[in-house]
Amino acid sequence: MKLRHLLAAIVYGLIAYGIFSRNEPVSDSLLVLVSISFLFGIPFGVGYLMARGLQSEHAAVAAMSGWLPVMVAIGFLFATGFEGTICIVMALPFILAGAAAGGLFAHLRARAEARDRRLEMGAVLVLPFLLSPLERRLESPDRFAESVTTIEIAASPTRVWDEIAEVDTIRAEERGRALYTSIGFPPPLAATLDLPQEGGIRRASFGGGVLFTETITDWEPEQRIAFEIDPSFAEGEPALDPHVRIGGRYFDVLSGAYVIEPIDSARVRLVLTSRHRVSTRFNVYAGWWSERVMQSVQREILAVIKARAEDATRAPKARLRAATAARGLRESAEPRVANSFETGFSVVGDFPGRTDVYADSVVVLVRGGRIAWPRLGAGEVHDSTTASLAQPSGESWLAGRESRGLVFEHATVGDSAGLGPMLRFTVPREPGESLEGRWVIFTHHLTVPKTTDNPYGTAWAYTHAVLARR
């Protein structure tokens, strides 16, 4: 083996990595790492360069010779932090296969004319860069799958519900050895719940600054909790490997659900289901990995819940149980359709949903609502929607307290927008405050071109829903 061939193979692989990874975050970049052109084509060239310097007559030796520069390059990328364990483990079979194929091809072509071999080497080394833009034009198909994990727990549905609706901080000693942690996937840390009901927000935090914001879509105390998942990452954190980033181009976790199935008076079966997506040129392989990782994560979460639910020394979570009992305070709201006001702008809203009344707030859940503003023109934008409680008859609608935060924002000049799949408006309420004669008011904030009569360029429209008397 000639040292220059080893160095040439390593340098070629690293330069190719730098070129392919340069624009990786850009969705329309022509050269991407997660592609057959890179994962197989570049290692093919590495193996080809390495095998050209061998003196061995054995095909197997030539095929495996490419593994040496490949592993040196991977070791460098890992040591310098350019690649993480999870991405290396998943990509390694493609890389090793490509390097072996390149080495074997060089061995079979060893007796070719020198001129032909020079042209051949140029083609081998350049072809992945030419094929990648063509491959990029093919849409990566979406592959959706569900991971279902179950465990039996010697505890009542009430005890298990305490441990799944909210998850206290998971200590390191509560975790065991698992596939997902060994390849660099972040461990679950805790889950908090701001409102124990449908429409509530459950925030599940993982290591590495990963946060799943989970909007509850189904809430049946001691039976079932389901949620839609929106992943986010702490600023400045690496957020896993960019090529397997949750919520990114190639992988996402979409929804989850816990279901408690009673077995007898002292045992239940807990089922955890998650739905996820992979979008690559090799979805069968990528889907197999995503299933293994999700199953591993879910098994550990269920093991923690089991140990905690079966621990008789753990105190019950009074807040969750009080909130469950408070569901009897629910009062329905009848959706109404809004219309225009004196400035001539029209906003029509359809707000199917319900209103839940609590001691300190009124919570309005909107499911799949839609608003339309057919009279908006160029430069006129619907900015946001908030909610408030109208004052009793004879007082201004604007006198009501607004919902906390900006819960909906839309900046498109189009003529309609959806309010779904679920939005939650939380309007503050004084303890014991009577709701008789009150309305829930949706305020649509619009921005329009500034004029002499309208120097700030803003306008408002209203949609209201009747709140049932207490």
Q: How is residue 328 annotated by DSSP? A: G
Contact 235, 205 (CB under 8 A): no
Q: Which residue has the higher pLDDT, 21 or 304?
A: 304
CATH class of 142-322: alpha beta
pLDDT digits (tens, 9 = 90+) for 93-151: 999 999 999 999 988 887 665 566 778 888 999 999 988 888 877 777 888 999 999 99
- The gap from C-alpha 366 to its chain's centroid, in whole angstroms, comes to 22
- pTM for the full model? 0.72
DSSP codes of every residue in 200-232:
-EEEEEEGGGEEEEEEEEEEETTTEEEEEEEEE
Mean pLDDT of 206-213: 86
pLDDT for 275: 94
| Band (20; pLDDT cuts 50, 70, 90) | confident
Q: Which residue has the higher pLDDT, 369 or 336?
A: 369
Q: For the domain covering 330-467, report its CATH number.
A: 2.60.40
Query: Alpha helix locations (H) across 30-183?
Result: 36, 42-52, 59-65, 67-79, 85-108, 114-136, 157-165, 179-182
pLDDT digits (tens, 9 = 90+) for 54-76: 766 788 888 999 999 999 999 99
Domain 330-467 in the same topology as domain 142-322: no
| Band (43; pLDDT cuts 50, 70, 90) | very high
Average pLDDT in the chain: 79
Dist CA 78 CA 81 (whole Å): 5
Residue 67 backbone phi and psi in degrees, to 5:
-70, -30
Give percent of the chain above pLDDT 90.
28
pLDDT digits (tens, 9 = 90+) for 76-100: 998 887 887 888 888 899 999 999 9
CB burial class (10 A; 0-12, 13-18, 19+) of residue 324? middle
| Band (295; pLDDT cuts 50, 70, 90) | very high
Domains of the chain by residue range: 3-136, 142-322, 330-467
Q: How far is CA 333 from CA 230, 312, 365, 440, in A?
A: 28, 42, 10, 9
